Structure formats: structure tokens, C-alpha cells
Amino acid sequence: MTAQGQRAKTALVTGASRGIGRAIALELGRAGLEVVGTATADDGARAITGFLEGEGVRGHGAVLRAEQADSVAALLGSLAEQDKMPDVLVNNAGITRDSLLLRMSDEDWQAVINTDLTSVFRLSKACVRAMMKKKWGRIISITSLTGAAGNPGQANYAAAKAGITGFSKSLAKELGTRNITVNCVAPGFIDTDMVRALPEKYRDEIVRTIPAARFGEAREVAELVRFLASGAAAYITGETVHINGGLYMA
């Protein structure tokens, strides 16, 4: 409870085990929200609980298979029973299954669409009713530079991320009168495990194409999400905010 006797706002952050998701969970927790961060397995959920506690953040980890409707329903049902339905939803969970189109299997296409796009539909739908009752809510989905600019070998990923943008614009128009904002954050190259795994030569080539001459930090993405989740961003909705050091200018 807050000092005024009101329930603290709850943030649900999917894919919070590492990288951008972890940074977002910590940043929202430091802003005073109670954070529920998700991972795909029990070990990951326990690790989230551990790092939140270690940083003095109120919250815990939970298991979610974002691509599975039953898993979404189970998690949101549990949160409803605890009176912790999300005031802030951050859709960050995602996968890649990269391949040139001629080699891309139906399974790889569908796996990315289900995890990266359909999960945003299911989670948003599951959270919206409670937000409408409270007449306040924030839905923030992490998309990608790839969803705007495209990238060879990532037709499935680009389609999913672009789909989130269209979905978010439509939902923003549906919910605008309810004090619920719906926005996307589209990171470029961020210094996470995925980028660090690239060969050094390729990393150097990428940096030379970025006007800011460096990779972004997960903390910088998290700070942007924190702003969009705040009252200060109440008049921003239906937008995709690019954070890429000038690599792509929409």
C-alpha cells in the first residue's frame, strides 16, 4: 500500500530474465511499482525474484510461456486473485528464428508470430478490462528497428514487430478515452548478450553506421519505458519511439 493507503501500481514485464527486460523490471521497481517479471521456466522465475530482492525492488518472478494461451490465462488469473492485476504491461518477451525466406519453415514462421505478436494480443486483452475499470493503464510493447526497416533473414521477426505497431495504434484509438495509453519502444543495437555474441569485426562495422558511434545501453531503453509508464506521458499514445542512436530516423 502507498502512504495514502492506496494499492501500489503493479507492472507486468514479460521476458524479464536478462537484457532489456531485466533492466525494465528494475527501473520500474525503482520508480515505486511492484514488479512481476516473467521467465519461461521455474529457474528463471526464481532468478528474477532474486535480483529484484537484491536491488531492493518489490516484486517477484513468475513463469509464463507467452505463446501459450493457457499459460497467459493462468498467470493473469493468479494476479487477479492477489488483487495485482497489471496497471502497466510491458510486452518484451520474444524470440528469433532467423532464415532467408526460401529456407524458412512454417514452424519457424509460426513460432515467432505466436511468441512475439500473438502474445501481445493475448496479454493486452487479458489486462485491459481491469485497466478500464480503474480508468488508468499503460501498455508498452518492445518492438525493433527491424520492424520498421526490415532485415534480410528476419521476415518472420520483422512481420511480428511491425504487426505489434499496427495493433498498438488500433488499441490506442480504442482506449484513448479511458486514460489508457498504448505505445511501442523500438530499440536498435543495444549492448546485450545477443549483440556481444556477434564477431568483433561485425560489431565494429555496425558502430560505424550509427551516428552516435556506440551501441545503446539496456538502461537507456528502460528509462524510456519508465517515462512512458509515468503520468508525465499521459498525452502520448499510439506512438512508436525509436531508440537507436540515429541509425534509423523515422
Q: Is 235 a catalytic residue?
A: no
Report yes or no: 116 and 161 within 8 Å, Cβ to Cβ.
yes
Q: What phi, psi does 188 have (nearest 5°)?
A: -95, -130
Report yes or no: 127 and 11 within 8 Å, Cβ to Cβ.
no
Q: Is the dihedral of CA 148, 18, 11, 236 positive or negative?
A: negative
d(CA 186, CA 192): 15
Supply angle C-alpha 40, 20, 188, rounded to 5. Answer: 125
d(CA 104, CA 107): 8
State the residue for C-alpha cell 505505445. 183
- Ramachandran quadrant class, 5 (left: phi over 0; alpha: psi -120 to 50; beta: rest): left
Q: Choose, from 157, 202, 235, 248, the residue flagged as catalytic.
A: 157
d(CA 211, CA 246): 5
- The residues annotated as belonging to the active site are 157
